[in-house]
Chain A
């Protein structure tokens, strides 16, 4: 469900045929547009013809023009961006699809997210686009300013932004000026010059004025276009304009007041009353004016005003909607306030509000009742339309409304409490939430006897469930979420989609994986049913992560590939918002030691996530990068990534479990680096085995066992591992079990009990082989090669070719990681033929052969035995189907394995 877009706000106001052409300014603007990386700022008070100038510019441009007239209601990031995107796609352009679906998830988004996605889309759009935002001074929201400056700073070359405003925006303008990124048109440029005043008064308005009179009018109004226009209107129909000019220029009463008085005096009483009473409206249509005036002639009145040039501007081609010139409206409103009793003004606003409500514009209705402090009507509108508007994600609007309502009104309306809490939850203001929930409970006493109180109780439970899950309190989260599901009505989609996510995460935390999968699948279906890609992807990613935790690596690959294909079909594969889907796949690729593909994919994910810095998603991808760098032996790189991850988690609210995982990786890297004392200290501080998430607890205990083994304290390692293996054997956590068994094998090997070591090792391999686990065995370096060497003559390999191939792969992987000298296993039957790629070590050997090195030299250089070199050479011959060193080199060059220079 999306925000209803008032298309009048996207309409480029037409240039009146008799308007004074301002070619000097249009030229200046057009020149600014042709400067790459520049934006245009049109800054000046009301009535200097900014909008008219922009219309003239828009008409003269060949490029696509996106126009947006902003108003006070756009002080909500969701509304602002929804309108801005709507302006860009008036002809069905594919711009901002992902951003729109994201805006509907109603989350408080980091400021760079939406502009980031747009920048991507615009770069793909490739045609030139001029984005004109009129009346930017109405935007006060800090988030909008931040994200808009992000857009300006990263605008692609084909986007040209033009801003008009009465007040300079709170941006780093000096910096933009210094970098030549800013073209300014300011009040001294906008003033009518003598020649323009003459063209306007004599030709456009057809007034027979002398040069002298034009000059004195220009001086009196200081070239203020609106003043000039008001003066011309006052003179129309007078027999003697000269005497008017004399009286006007002789007076020093405020220009606009003097002239509006003059103009109103010359209007029929009916028109005066119409102008004053309808001045409360930001937009005017016949029907709306009728409602406010209690008459039937609104449409005719507006047409007359337009014909007589009385400061109404059309907002569409059919002339259904108009607005007053802002300055004129201000002057009229000031008079309305001083000439009419307060009750009459209140009644006008109330009538406008009911018309807007009946016609589906709730925000406008609320603005009118709030303008006259009619809080009861505001509260009623809020209750009636609250949940619908929350579904659309108009959070800032909600919060500003609830802030406007006094507390005693709020406590009498449970729906308002719900709205406020939800908005605060999504805005991440967790601390403010609980007091309001308590307030809500004081209203219902946590009883559920009417649909209304049931919803409130269900809602309270859902919010508390979510926070409990975030804090790792899974039991409480599940209890509350299940309660909420039964109580929340179907229409509360905006809260409901959070429930399966909470439930899935909580079950995963407890290790009840099938239940977790069921919940995430439900979330994916919900996303599908409501056409929300982000909710769908979050569900699918949840399923994949659970399968990863179960060790079903092949299924993860399948799930992710299938989902990625669907994204391709939606043309959404490039969206940073959906990039997290690839993270479980990358983790599996790393585990299977397909490091090149993992790296390629991770680079893609990182690039896409630059425009999508949701802290949790980014942290996931950073953890994947640490895994990859560790697997590649790039410890320095991994430590640098860890630093970035730590910074991210300390600056943002992320899942507690994820935050702890960062700490655990720090310890792991310390162990890798041989810094056992530091690792010990950190691990002790974390109290390993106390994590509420079973996966984390396994990981903590395995780390500790690893550390003790590395510290040559195998007995202590054993004490941790024995009960752990026992527990894991009856669990679904296969990856942890594999690692625990492998560790057991190493421990027994250290204690010189080779048979027991081998039996554990074989158990681990048996579990690992079908899913292609590799990395888990590579953590330990030297002991791994000893175990593999022991295995090379074992019957384990002789009975099963698949196992033989697998162990071969493991041995190669250990070699690739540059562990000390080792004996590779004998060539197994399955390693032959062209389809089999060369291993890293074989390629190294091939390079040295190409360089003309003898087997002995190669052995020396690679620190392996001569017979190992021979075995490698034999493998190379087999794979390339050749019989000699020269043939091997030639064939490798042909296949591109070696470059011509080698």
Chain B
């Protein structure tokens, strides 16, 4: 059985939370950095690429993709994105 992973995907610009459905129920949050993070459990790689495709279709600029074990706390507000970013 595949392990579930928690992902954080960061894009440039600000997105509102109404896109949550569109991005497969990922939680959408903007901080003061001018970037938006999409966070949540992604069931598998196909689902992840589905999200990335949608980001591309909207001409959003992808900044980073980071994976954490699913025990990661979604509501961790002091969350800092780590350095294992996709360049």
* B14 CB contacts on chain A under 8 angstroms: 252-254
| A45→B59 contact, CB < 8 A | yes
Complex CA distance for A338 and B21, rounded to whole angstroms: 6
Mostly, the A contact residues are helix
Question: Quick one: given A46-B57, A47-B59, A327-B59, are A255 and B18 in contact (CB under 8 Å)?
Answer: no
Of B16, B21, B54, B56, the residue contacting A253 (CB under 8 A) is: B16
C-alpha spacing A32/B13, complex, angstroms: 36
- Minimum CB–CB distance from B43 to chain A (whole Å) comes to 16
- Contact partners of A166 in chain B: CB under 8 A: 56-57
Q: Which residue of B lies closest to A261 (CB)?
A: B16
Residue among B13, B53, B56, B58 facing the most chain A CB atoms (10 A cut-off): B58
**Which one of B19, B34, B53, B56 lies within 8 Å of A334 (CB-CB)?**
B19
Q: A46-B58, A256-B59 are in contact. List 5 more A-B contacts (CB 8 A).
A: A48-B59, A167-B56, A226-B59, A252-B13, A337-B22
Assembled-state Cα–Cα distance A333/B18 (Å):
12
Contact (A45, B56) CB under 8 Å given A334-B21, A334-B22, A337-B21: yes
**Closest CB of chain A to B14's CB: distance in Å?**
5
Is the C-beta of B20 less than 8 angstroms from some C-beta in chain A? yes
The CA of A167 and the CA of B59, in the complex, are separated in Å by 12
Q: Is B85 an interface residue (CB 8 A)?
A: no
Whether A338 lies near B13 (C-beta < 8 A) is no
Chain A positions within 8 Å of B60 at CB level? 254
**9 tightest Cβ-Cβ pairs between the two chains A and B:** A334-B22, A45-B59, A338-B18, A337-B21, A254-B13, A253-B14, A338-B21, A254-B15, A252-B14
Whether A192 sits at the interface, judged by CB under 8 Å, is no
Q: Which residue from A48, A252, A327 sits with its C-beta under 8 Å from B57?
A: A327
Shortest Cβ distance from B71 into chain A, in angstroms? 29
Is A39's beta carbon under 8 Å from chain B?
no
CB within 8 A of B13: which of A255, A326, A334, A335?
A255
- Please, which residues of chain A bring their CB within 8 A of the CB of B56? 45, 166-167
Contact between chains at B58 and A256 (CB < 8 Å):
yes
In the complex, 14 of the A-B residue pairs with CB atoms within 8 angstroms, ordered by the A residue number, are A45-B57, A47-B59, A166-B57, A253-B16, A254-B13, A254-B15, A254-B58, A257-B16, A326-B57, A327-B57, A333-B22, A334-B22, A337-B21, A338-B21
Give Cα distance in the complex from A45 to B52, angstroms.
Answer: 12
> Which of B21, B57, B60 gathers most chain A CB within 10 Å?
B57
Q: Which residues of B contact A493 (CB under 8 A)?
A: none
List chain A positions with a Cβ less than 8 A from chain B.
Answer: 45-48, 166-167, 224, 226-227, 252-257, 326-327, 330-331, 333-335, 337-339
Shortest Cβ distance from residue B8 to the other chain A in the assembled complex, whole angstroms: 18
**Are A252 and B34 neighbours in the complex by a CB distance under 8 Å?**
yes
Interface residues of B in 18-52 (CB under 8 A from A): 18-22, 34, 36
- Give the docked Cα–Cα distance between A339 and B13 (Å): 23
CB neighbours (8 Å) of A252 from chain B are 13-14, 34
Complex formed: what's the CA distance from A48 to B20 in Å? 25
Q: Return chain B residues, CB-CB under 8 Å to A255.
A: 13, 59
Specify which chain B residues have a CB less than 8 angstroms from the CB of A330 in the assembled complex.
54, 57-58
A749 to B4, CA, bound (A): 82
Inter-chain contacts of B16 with A (CB < 8 A): 253, 257
Distance in angstroms between the alpha carbons of A254 and B54 in the assembled complex: 14
Report B-chain residues with C-beta under 8 Å of the C-beta of A167: 53, 56
Quote the shortest CB–CB distance from B11 to chain A (angstroms): 8
| Separation of A334 and B19 alpha carbons in the complex (Å) | 6
User: What's the minimum C-beta distance from B59 to chain A, rounded to whole angstroms?
Assistant: 4
Docked Cα-Cα span, A252 to B15, in Å, equals 9
Residues of B within 8 A of A339 (CB): 18
Q: Which of A47, A333, A338 has the most CB of B within 10 A?
A: A338
Least CB distance from A166 to B in Å reads 6
Determine if B13 and A253 form an interchain contact, defined as CB atoms under 8 angstroms apart. Answer: yes
- Contact between B19 and A338, CB atoms less than 8 A apart: yes
Task: Give B residues with C-beta under 8 Å from A.
Answer: 13-16, 18-22, 34, 36, 53-54, 56-60
Q: Which A residues touch B18, using CB under 8 A?
A: 334-335, 338-339
Chain B residues with CB under 8 Å of A46's CB are 57-59
* Cα-based distance from A862 to B49 in the complex (angstroms): 76
Contacts of A224 in B (CB 8 A): 59
User: What's the minimum C-beta distance from A594 to chain B, rounded to whole angstroms?
Assistant: 60
Q: How far is the CA of A333 from the CA of B71 in the complex (A)?
A: 32
Residues of A within 8 A of B22 (CB): 333-334, 337-338
CA distance A331 to B22 in the complex (A): 9
Determine the chain B residues whose CB is within 8 A of the CB of A334 once the complex forms.
18-19, 21-22
Q: Are B59 and A338 in contact (CB under 8 A)?
A: no
Shortest C-beta distance, B2 to chain A (Å), equals: 19
A339 to B19, CA, bound (A): 11
Measured in the bound complex, the distance between the Cα atoms of B30 and A254 in whole Å is 11
Cβ A327 vs Cβ B58 within 8 A: yes
Complex: chain A residue closest to B21, CB-CB: A337
C-alpha gap A21/B13 in the complex (Å): 30
How many Å from the CB of B77 to the closest CB on chain A?
21
Q: Identify the closest chain B residue to A337 (Cβ).
A: B21
User: Which A residues lie within 8 Å of B54 (CB)?
Assistant: 330
> What is the CB-to-nearest-CB distance from A636 to chain B, in angstroms, rounded to a whole number?
52
Chain A residues near B58: list those with CB within 8 A: 46, 254, 256, 327, 330-331
User: A719 vs B60: C-alpha distance in the bound complex, in angstroms?
Assistant: 83
CA distance A256 to B36 in the complex (A): 15
CB of B79, distance to nearest CB on chain A (Å): 21
- Interface centre among B34, B36, B60, by most chain A C-beta atoms within 10 angstroms, is B60
Q: Tell me, rounded to whole Å, the shortest Cβ–Cβ distance linking B46 to chain A.
A: 11
Please, how many angstroms separate the alpha-carbon atoms of A45 and B41 in the complex?
26
Tell me how far the C-beta of A164 lies from the nearest C-beta in chain B, rounded to whole angstroms.
14
Q: How far is the CB of B10 from chain A (nearest CB, A)?
A: 13
Closest to B16 in A: A257
Q: Closest CB-CB distance, A230 to chain B, in whole Å?
A: 11
Residue of B20, B22, B56 with most chain A CB atoms under a 10 A cut-off: B22
CB nearest neighbor in B for A224 = B59
CB contacts (< 8 Å) of A326 on chain B: these are: 57
Query: How far, in whole Å, are A330 and B23 apart by their CA atoms in the complex?
Result: 12
> In the complex, what distance in Å separates the CA atom of A327 from the CA atom of B22?
13
Please indicate the chain A residues that have their CB under 8 angstroms from the CB of B20 in the complex: 338
In the complex, what residue of chain B is closest to A226 when comparing beta carbons?
B59
* B20 nearest CB neighbor, chain A only: A338
Closest B residue to A256 by CB, please name it.
B58
A226 CB, min distance to chain B CBs, angstroms: 7
Give the shortest distance, in Å, between A276 (CB) and chain B (any CB).
Answer: 13
Query: CA separation between A166 and B58, bound complex, in Å?
Result: 11
| Nearest CB of chain B from residue A799's CB, rounded to whole Å | 83
A254→B16 CA distance, assembly (Å): 9
Cα–Cα, bound, A317→B21 (Å): 37
Closest beta carbon of chain A to B1's beta carbon, Å: 20
Please state if A257 and B57 are interface contacts (CB–CB under 8 Å). no
Closest to B34 in A: A252
Q: Which residues from chain A contact B19 at a C-beta distance below 8 Å? A: 257, 334, 338
CA distance A254 to B59 in the complex (A): 10
Query: Which chain A residues lie closer than 8 Å to B13 at the CB level?
Result: 252-255
CB distance from A329 to the nearest CB of B (A): 10
> Which residues from chain B contact A227 at a C-beta distance below 8 Å?
59
Find chain A residues with CB under 8 A from B15 CB: 253-254, 257
Among A166, A257, A330, A335: residue with most chain B CB under 10 A: A257
Question: Which residues of chain B come closer than 8 Å to A257, judged between CB atoms?
Answer: 15-16, 19
> Which residues in A have their C-beta under 8 angstroms from that of B21?
334, 337-338
A576 to B36, CA, bound (A): 57
Q: How far is the CA of A256 from the CA of B19 in the complex (A)?
A: 12
> What CA separation (Å) do A526 and B21 show in the bound complex?
53
Within the complex, the shortest CB–CB distance from B29 to chain A, in Å, comes to 14
Give the shortest distance, in Å, between B44 (CB) and chain A (any CB): 16
Closest Cβ neighbor of B13 among chain A residues: A254
Q: B12: shortest Cβ distance to chain A, in Å?
A: 9
Taken together as a complex, chains A and B put the C-alpha atoms of A256 and B34 apart, in Å, by: 16
Q: CA separation between A667 and B36, bound complex, in Å?
A: 72
Interface centre among A45, A48, A167, A254 (most CB of B within 10 A): A254
Alpha-carbon distance between A46 and B21 when the two chains are bound, in angstroms: 21
When C-beta atoms are compared, the residue in chain B nearest to A254 turns out to be B13
